[in-house]
Amino acid sequence: MSSGGRQKIHPRVVAEAAEWFMVLSSGNVRPDETAQWQAWLSSHPDHQLAWSRVEFYTDKFKLLPPQAAFAASEALNAPDLTRRRMLTSMAILGVAGLSGWQIARGRYWQEWSADQHTALGESKTITLTDGSTVALDSGSAINVDFSVNLRRLQLVKGEIYIETAPDNVGWKRPFVVDTLEGRVQALGTRFSVSQHEDRTQVAVFQDAVEIQPADTNSAKQTLRAGQQVQFTSSHIETIHRHSQEIPAWTQGFIIADDLPLSEFLLQLNRYRSGYITCDPEIADLRIIGSYPLKDTDKILAFLEANLPIKLTHPLPYWVKVLPR
């Protein structure tokens, strides 16, 4: 997924958000660390945007380290008083509260019970009954709902790339993708849609799509080939250009075109278990090139050999990149 359609956030802020995510996911968080994170999160709007981006790429709750997942389970089964104490000491649950965790648990059930889904590091392409094809990126899920009047996909999670086919019934049913923020209607096209924490991103590679935010008082907007944009339920943001012919992940690659190290590592998180973070001091190191996603360890080894960085392993599931 290209980053051009997103609001620019300083690489150091992205690195700080990723570091906080790792701390809060460790299952061993002190109350003062929880307070420090909350203060950091509320101190600037960019911090909240960076946190949402980290949540998208690291898939919180579902990819908790074993000890954090165990702690969550213990907290849910403990007596009320004990549970409250345990949740207070676990920032990743304490922030959301018990009801928030239950909502998240329900959301992940929706993902795994979806018509089509992919696991971490997996991608696949399916052919729909009308001849259209849909590629699902790592950790994505969709529902397929074709009726007599409409060809509809519901993007539950992640990112998909669609090549629409002419409808094979006589009345030419519209082809749409619904997300939490609204609807994207294909106008004979190739396009991608990704579901973020609080917004949807769309990129068009051929022809055009029409975007309608969920708030019907918001105006529709047409997005054409070579353009990408993000939208919320009430607002379509500024349109940006992109130069891709097809999303790189559909070919098994991650492409970096002068991408900050913190952003590159964040995207790499979608294709491997565990977590990768970097020291904010080196967050703005620039990455260029095309990297095969089949072996992410080789990508990290290549970066270590060619940049002034070193890889450390504070925990078995955590790779932290430091200045050399």
**DSSP per-residue string spanning 257-294:** EEEEHHHHHHHHGGGSSSEEEE-GGGTT-EEEEEEETT
Residue 64 or 302, more confident: 302
pTM equals: 0.74
- Give the mean model confidence (pLDDT) for residues 32-48: 89
CB burial class (10 A; 0-12, 13-18, 19+) of residue 133?
middle
Residue 85 has pLDDT above 50, yes or no: no
With cut-offs at 50, 70 and 90, classify the pLDDT of residue 4: very low
In this structure, whether the domain defined by 124-241 belongs to CATH 3.30.70.2860 is answered with: no
24 φ, ψ (degrees, to nearest 5): -70, -20
Q: How high is the pLDDT of residue 274?
A: 84
Q: How high is the pLDDT of residue 68?
A: 42
* Helix (H), strand (E) at residue 187: strand 182-195
Residue 83 has pLDDT above 50, yes or no: no
Q: What does DSSP assign to residue 163?
A: E
If DSSP codes are grouped into helix, strand and coil, which group holds residue 234?
coil
Residue 9 or 238, more confident: 238
Closest listed residue to residue 265, CA positions, set 5, 91, 22, 42 = 22
Q: How high is the pLDDT of residue 198?
A: 84
In this structure, whether the domain defined by 249-323 belongs to CATH 3.10.129.10 is answered with: no
Token duo for residue 213: 């935010």
Distance CA 134, CA 131 (A): 10
With cut-offs at 50, 70 and 90, classify the pLDDT of residue 242: very high
Average pLDDT of the chain is 83
Q: How high is the pLDDT of residue 59?
A: 60
Distance CA 205, CA 150 (A): 23
- Give the mean model confidence (pLDDT) for residues 209-214: 97
Token duo for residue 44: 């600037």
- Give the mean model confidence (pLDDT) for residues 157-173: 91
